[in-house]
Amino acid sequence: MKNILPFLIWTILSGSCSSVRKATTNEALLDLNEKELQKFIGTYQNKPLNGEAEFYALWSTLNFKSDDHENWSDFQVNLKLNSQNQLYAELVDDDQILDSKLLKGRLERNFFRINNQTKTDFSYVLLWVLADSSVKFGLNTNNDLVVISASGGAAFLVFFPVFAADTPFVETIYKHVE
């Protein structure tokens, strides 16, 4: 039992449930290289042009958390360039910054792929959840943001898995405002 417990903990913490690395889109994307990350700079609607707006807000996809804001579909997301490998995102409502996040990642095949994000939820004493998200985005010919995302997670009773689930790839498009 002594040898199994560290192995279970290592497996739980090092495993990733989802990846969009090989996912593709039918949208015509702009050709981007490492020197053209500035093309992402701009303001985008938080509400997608396609898909269920309630579940696929741009901010919750990029930030991998679901804060409850009133009128969230009226918000906008500003993308700014911080360095060659980092974009900076801000959730904005009427020029007021509500939240911000540094998006670390890299440019791959015309997409900016954000490093996988992981979160845990210890809402209950013995039952806890480990979840991860994989996101990449590119620009279509209209300069709209094309986002491909996937997420997954597992519920654990102490260290023993009791439930696991993944979502299929989800592609959403967010209108470029400015």
pLDDT, one tens digit per residue, over 134-155 is: 788 888 888 898 888 877 777 7
3-state secondary structure of 161: strand
Q: What are phi and psi of 13, to 5 degrees?
A: -80, -25
Of 81, 92, 82, residue with least CA distance to 39: 81
**What span, in angstroms and rounded, lies between the C-alpha atoms of 178 and 96?**
16
Q: Looking at 12-16, 49-53, 78-82, 143-147, which range is the least confident one?
A: 12-16
Residue 145 falls inside a structural domain:
yes
Task: Please give the residue that has the higher pLDDT: either 42 or 167.
Answer: 42
Beta strands per DSSP E along the chain: 42-45, 76-83, 86-93, 96-108, 111-121, 127-139, 145-157, 160-166, 170-174
Residue 175 falls inside a structural domain:
no
Whole domain around residue 72: which residue ranges? 4-170
Number of compact structural domains in the chain: 1
Q: What is the tens place of the pLDDT at every residue in 116-125?
A: 777 677 777 7
Task: Please give the residue that has the higher pLDDT: either 90 or 3.
Answer: 90
- The model's confidence at residue 12, banded by pLDDT at 50, 70 and 90, is low
Is the per-residue pLDDT at 96 higher than 80?
yes
Residue 84 falls inside a structural domain:
yes
Residue 144 falls inside a structural domain:
yes
**What span, in angstroms and rounded, lies between the C-alpha atoms of 130 and 120?**
5
**What span, in angstroms and rounded, lies between the C-alpha atoms of 145 and 172?**
8
Mean pLDDT within 124-133: 76
Is the per-residue pLDDT at 174 higher than 70?
yes
Residue 102 falls inside a structural domain:
yes
* Model confidence pTM above 0.95: no
Contacts of 51 (CB under 8 A, 6+ apart): 170, 171, 172
- The model's confidence at residue 43, banded by pLDDT at 50, 70 and 90, is very high
Residue 177 falls inside a structural domain:
no
- The model's confidence at residue 1, banded by pLDDT at 50, 70 and 90, is low
